[in-house]
Amino acid sequence: MWFQQGLSFLPIALVIWTAAAFTFSYIIAVTLHHVDPALPYISDTGTVAPEKCLFGAMLNIAAVLCLATIYVRYKQVHALNPEENLIIKLNKAGLVLGILSCLGASLVANFQPKIHGKQVFWIRLLLLVWCGVSVLSMLTCSSILYSGNFGTDLVQKLHWNPEDKGYVLHLITTVAEWSMSFSFFGFFLTYIRDFQKISLRVEANLHGLTLYDPAPCPVINERTRLLSREF
């Protein structure tokens, strides 16, 4: 099939998934009378719960797909024009703008601070910037490192020495990767206060004493608190 050739599934998945995010959030918002049916702003369809939760989650995935699509396109243009300095510079500028756009889309989807003060907002915004800088540094340095100017077997290279070609780029890439991971940890830690006000319950409904018993079960259904405190 034509959509299974190479990496053509990336832009297809990006368009379908993003369109689905807009469509589902629009349907929920209109059904719950949160917006008018006649062409509301896309952002308005993802402003009020519960549609904003779905909108944010799906737009995050769309941002990742968009980032992957932009990076593949960047590598394609670079491979087709390896000696055109102007095109190479414009291509790198396009990559940076694309990454910033993806981060902006994720920012718009996730930062609607209505249940927290400004402190939590600024902490999460700082973590987002931290993560963005780490991702940008990692992608930029790794693309330069694996461009072929420092050898062709770097993917399998597990041991590096300071005198190796590309060692500095390798070091920056690894530091950026670790930094990105710790920014994720920090972001998840900001949910501690949110989760202090949440509890989950599990309910077991018995429809028979055995798998082969058609009679209703006389045993009272059991409810057990699953996690933490009351909402």
> What burial class does residue 125 get, using C-beta atoms within 10 Å of its C-beta: 0-12 exposed, 13-18 middle, 19+ buried?
middle
- Please provide the DSSP assignment of 7-52 as one string: TTHHHHHHHHHHHHHHHHHHHHHHHTTSS-SS---TGGGGSSTTHH
Structure tokens at 227: 């996690």
| Beta-carbon-side half-sphere exposure of residue 109 (alpha carbons within 13 Å) | 23
CA–CA separation, 168 and 172 (whole Å): 6
pLDDT above 70: percentage of residues in the chain: 74
Top-confidence range, 15-24, 94-103, 125-134, 159-168: 15-24
For the record, the structure tokens of 158 come out as: 């597990």
Domain ranges within the chain, ordered by starting residue: 1-197
Note the pLDDT of residue 231. Answer: 41
* SS3 label, residue 199: strand
pLDDT tens figures, 216-227: 555 555 555 555
Which of 108, 104, 124 lies closest to 47 in space, CA to CA?
108
pLDDT tier at 195, thresholds 50, 70, 90: low
Strand, helix or coil for residue 190: coil
DSSP state of 96: H
| pLDDT bucket at 20, cuts 50 / 70 / 90 | very high
How many Cβ atoms are within 10 Å of 225's Cβ, its own excluded? Answer: 11
Q: Buried (b) or exposed (e) across 19-38, using 16+ Cβ within 10 A?
A: eebbebbbebbbeeebbeee
Kindly tell me if the per-residue pLDDT of 93 is higher than 50. Answer: yes
Residue-wise pLDDT for 42-70, tens only, equals 777 877 888 888 888 888 888 888 888 88
Q: How confident is the model at residue 230 (pLDDT cuts 50, 70, 90)?
A: very low
**Residue, of 82 and 3, whose pLDDT is higher:** 82
